[in-house]
Amino acid sequence: MLTPSEIEEIKHEVERAGRGLNASVEALKIVQRQRRWVPDEELEEVSKLLGVTTHELDAVATFYSFIFRRPVGKNLILVCDGPACWMLNGHMLAETIKAELGIGLGETTKDGEFTFLPISCIGLCDKAPAMMINDDVYGGLTPEKVREALKKYR
Amino acid sequence: MSAKDPQAYPLTAGMEMNGKAVGLQKYEALGGYEGAKKALLQMGPAQVMQEVKDSNLRGRGGAGFPTGQKWSFVPMGENAPNTRYLVVNADEMEPGAFKDKFLLEGNPHQLIEGMVISSYAIGASVSYVFLRWAYKEAAKRIEQAISEAHSKGYLGKNIFGSGFDHEVRLHTSAGRYICGEETALLTALEGKRGIPRAKPPFPQICGLWGKPTVVNNVETMANVPHIIRNGAKWFKEISRSSDGGTKIYGASGRVNRPGAWELPMGTPLRELLEIHAGGMKDGYKLKGIMPGGASTEFMLEEHLDTPMDFDSVPKAGSRLGTGTLMVMDHKTCPVGLVLNIMEFFARESCGWCTPCREGLPWLTGILRKVEHGDGNPEDLEILNEHIPLLGMGRTFCALAPGAIEPLQSALKYYKQDFEAHIEKKTCPYK
Ligand SMILES: Cc1cc2nc3c(=O)[nH]c(=O)nc-3n(C[C@H](O)[C@H](O)[C@H](O)COP(=O)(O)O)c2cc1C
Ligand code: SF4
């Protein structure tokens, strides 16, 4: 269930955007802020606030890479899978993450702490290979630097 | 990039190596917002548009469409619709591109000033920045710049007492490459699934919520204040080609100094690679360069003397695109690289057109087979056959035609590498 403050925030976004559907992405991001994903129940509540059908809203939710319709971990590890990183062996970083956390791409650790996903080129090509953990960016990665970075979130 | 001559390096003057943004005070000291003041107080919208036309500014989003001309398609005058929009494309998801990020983080006020002037030229009272999800730092800096500009009266009501009102709004997306295509971007901004629209009508006639809309790239916008402040003639003079101005070039890959630099438009590829990027790393030789992102054809050693501008690069069989080079060395497998790129495009297809939705995954599968040593000679024929099938005119947008550009040139330039994978039944680079 949406909290009263979430409802307020979404209403505010709808007002700011003028029309309900215009605020779809913002509203879905509000739902995700605490839960980290968008469950069916909240999707339905948001669609009512926006004045659209659940299908219209789900069409938007399922379109975007970073609106999640399934649970994800507390921390998102996003390793760049773009060509500039690939050339500098960015794809090998997956092995380090697997060794450290036991998860491959698309998987979440059993304790719900980490989800590991690919991300399209993040504009750190001059510092390849690169990744993001939540909002933080890391470039010039080596297995050692990946291990160091992960420690901060444990 | 400190203490550069603002006349020669207008976009990056004042930017420091420390990664901090040029603050409002510093920007003002460099002449910031004087272009906006001049436009709003001394020039009419038509005059601003004419100046931009005369400057030969070409869109930096990749296609190089002349900016002044694009604006001139917007219906103006008494009978035209009152509501018009300017939308800045800050989606920058093209693999290998990082120039807009550099400008957004480096000098957000320059963008805002460009938006105020451009909006004045087309009579837009609201403009949007459409920013990609991953650019978190840029988002913070743009928000801050918008609020600073407000408090100084550079945004809001009656700017400089000119009677012109303007608001800039930031929209952060949620991650899909196709949202960078301008009509998909507008659909996404309306809160719907970001799928392209059929053209015509073009956005300048029927864009955001059906209103006349101009979509311009971040770097395009960043040039506008300088053109107005220093004039079209100056803008043409700082270029080394017939396209006006400077260009943010960049390089990644196994070069000594990967990075981004502002240089005169038309700087030859050789200078970018050998001087600015510092040449190839020890032990690595040049095998090819994608000059402007993952949707541009490879260029070779023999093309190094090409001036990097919108008209010259096509003569060397490629496109300027974003101008951020991806440099491939001789120890990197071209088949593997093209496979990586094709996987990206197949994933990012919006699914509207059959050649794109079905063709890209199909090609990806074949490339994967070849890369992993399971290919046969017919596979190369199938790959070649698909090139025209995904070309321009067969799809609603340029994603699929862009996706096959690297494949097409790899099949031509690196044929032996493809054949070696098939003969040896493994990737010879492993
Ligand atoms: C699949 C696809 C993705 C695109 N992505 C971007 C992008 O991220 N940024 C951008 O400025 N232009 C992008 N473009 C080009 C835009 O459609 C549009 O031409 C551009 O924003 C116009 O700006 P300009 O005239 O200032 O160059 C893309 C085009 C296609 C077909
Ligand atoms: S070419 Fe691909 S991405 Fe573009 S509209 Fe067609 S299906 Fe969508």
Q: What is the pLDDT of residues B287-297, one digit of tens each?
A: 999 999 999 99
Low-confidence ranges of chain B (pLDDT < 70): 1-3
Query: Looking at beta carbons, which pairs linking B362-368 to residues 24 or more positions away fall under 8 Å?
Result: B362/B386, B363/B404, B363/B407, B364/B339, B367/B335, B367/B338, B367/B339, B367/B342, B367/B407, B368/B339
Tokens of B370: 């070849």
What Rg do the C-alpha atoms of chain A give, in angstroms? 18
- pLDDT reported for residue B2: 45
Report the C-alpha gap between B240 and B230 in whole angstroms: 17
CB contact under 8 A, B192 and A59: yes
Question: How far apart, in whole angstroms, are the C-alpha atoms of residue B81 and residue B71?
Answer: 15
**Domain end position, chosen among B194, B218, B237:** B237
Index of the ligand 2 atom closest to the CA of residue B352: 7
Q: Which domain holds residue B46?
A: 24-237
* Position B118 in a domain: yes
- Decide: B92 in ligand 1 pocket, CB within 6 A: yes
Tell me which of B218 and A17 has the higher pLDDT: B218
Residues B285 and B343 in one domain: no
Does the residue B1 lie in any domain?
A: no
Instruction: Categorize the per-residue pLDDT at A97 as very low, low, confident or very high, splitting at 50, 70 and 90.
Output: very high
DSSP string, B392-409: TTSSSSSHHHHHHHHHHH
Instruction: Judge whether B181 lies within some domain.
Output: yes
Rounded-to-integer distance, Cα B345 and Cα A82, Å: 11
Helices and strands (H, E) in chain A, number of each type: 7, 4
In a domain? residue B429: no
- Mean of pLDDT values over A122-143: 96
Q: Could you tell me which residues come within 8 angstroms of residue A129 by beta carbon, excluding any fewer than 6 positions away?
A: A79, A80, A85, A88, A89, A90, A93, A139, A140, A141
Residue in B96, B193, B328 nearest the CB of A121 = B96
- CB-neighbour burial class of residue A100 (10 A; exposed 0-12, middle 13-18, buried 19+): middle
pLDDT of residue B3: 63
CATH code where residue B112 lies: 3.40.50.11540
> What's the pLDDT tens digit per position in B71-115?
999 999 888 889 999 999 999 999 999 999 999 999 999 999 999
Reported pTM: 0.97
Residue-level pLDDT at A110: 97
Distance from CA of A109 to the nearest CA of B (A): 23
Q: Which residue of chain A has the CA closest to B208?
A: A22
Interval A134-154: pLDDT, tens: 999 999 999 999 999 999 998
pLDDT of the residue at B1: 43
B115: enclosing H helix or E strand: helix B108-122
Provide the CATH number for the domain around residue B322.
3.10.20.600
Cβ contact B185:B194 at 8 Å: yes
> What pLDDT does residue A19 have?
87
ipTM above 0.95, yes or no: yes
Q: Which residues contact B80 (CB under 8 A, 6 or more apart)?
A: B74, B212
Tell which atom from ligand 1 comes closest to the C-alpha of B178. 1
Distance (Å, rounded) from C-alpha B208 to C-alpha A104?
A: 40
Please compute the mean of the pLDDT values over residues A8-36 and round it to a whole number. Answer: 95
